[in-house]
Amino acid sequence: MPPDHFEMQGNDDLWSVFKIMGEFVDGYDKMMKVGPCVSVFGSARLKENSEYYQKAVKTAELIAENGFGVITGGGPGIMEAGNRGAKKAGGKSVGLGIDLPHEQGTNDYVHPMYEISFKYFFVRKVMFVKYAQGFIVFPGGFGTLDELFETLTLIQTNKIEKIPIVLVGTEYWEGLHSWIEKQLVEGGYIGEDDTSLFHMTDDPQEAVKHVCDFYQKRRPRPNFSF
């Protein structure tokens, strides 16, 4: 490959730094005005008639009623349900979208003031973590698992302070929980206390209570993790 090709690629890489900086600045500027939020994750593929969709609506509604905003990825499925519940309760409904081929765009329940679109996944993930006071995670695919495990890793390694993480849907999550206990804990890959970093339930009220109880003696604040 000709040397000048690498030089041209290097110039593109340098310019991309400014694009990344721009996304961070825009994200910080908007998110710092929202206030304490809870991030709701889950599959984009679940429809309105899904049990988990309905539970996500109820969960987000309760989150908003307790004074927190709701952050989602702004898309369909569980994300739509989260924004829908927040809007229904009159709360702050935030959508952190991502530019992807064949995406449907931001759902109709995201407040226009709190709609942000990102090109870079890693910048978007910083916003999810930095401005969330808790995570409520519904069944989902690779993206949901990626966000869950990155957050657990940041807490485990003390890059951010401990925040409540709730997994909704025991039937879905139990297999993963059992694998973590059997393979990771018993194999010595993580500590025994690491499984206490998340809580499982099927009840939206219990999920939100777990988050709210955590802040009875703590003041919500941004997570300065990056």
The enclosing domain of 111 has a CATH number of 3.40.50.450
219 inside domain: no
* The residue type at 138: F
- Is 29 part of any domain? yes
Cα angle value 172/177/182 (rounded, 5°): 140
- Reduced to 3 states, what is the DSSP secondary structure of residue 153? helix
- What is the mean pLDDT of the segment spanning 176-181? 98
Please check the confidence at residue 103 and state whether its pLDDT lies above 70: no
Strands (E), 14-129: 37-41, 69-72, 93-98, 115-118
pLDDT for res 102: 63
Parent domain of 34: 3-214
Q: Is residue 222 part of a domain?
A: no
Q: What is the mean pLDDT of the chain?
A: 91
Contact 40, 60 (CB under 8 A): yes
Section 138-162 average pLDDT? 95
User: Does residue 220 belong to any structural domain of this protein?
Assistant: no
| Contact (Cβ atoms closer than 8 angstroms) between residue 73 and residue 79 | yes
How much is the average pLDDT of 78-104?
Answer: 91
Residue 30 lies in a domain: yes
Average pLDDT over residues 126-150: 95
Per the domain annotation, does 223 fall within a domain? no
In what side-by-side order are the strands of the sheet with 93-98? 115-118, 93-98, 69-72, 37-41, 132-137, 165-168, 199-201
The 10s digit of each residue's pLDDT in 70-80 is 999 999 999 99
pLDDT digits (tens, 9 = 90+) for 4-61: 554 555 567 788 888 899 999 999 999 988 989 999 999 999 999 999 999 999 999 9
Which of 68-82, 113-127, 161-175 is predicted least confidently?
113-127
- pLDDT score at 12: 73
Residues 6+ apart with CB under 8 A from 31: 94, 116, 127, 130, 131
**Domain annotation covers residue 96:** yes
Q: How confident is the model at residue 217 (pLDDT cuts 50, 70, 90)?
A: confident
Number of domains present in the structure of the chain: 1
| pLDDT on residue 220 | 73
In this predicted structure, the answer to whether residue 86 has a pLDDT above a threshold of 90 is yes
The predicted structure's pLDDT at residue 225: 46
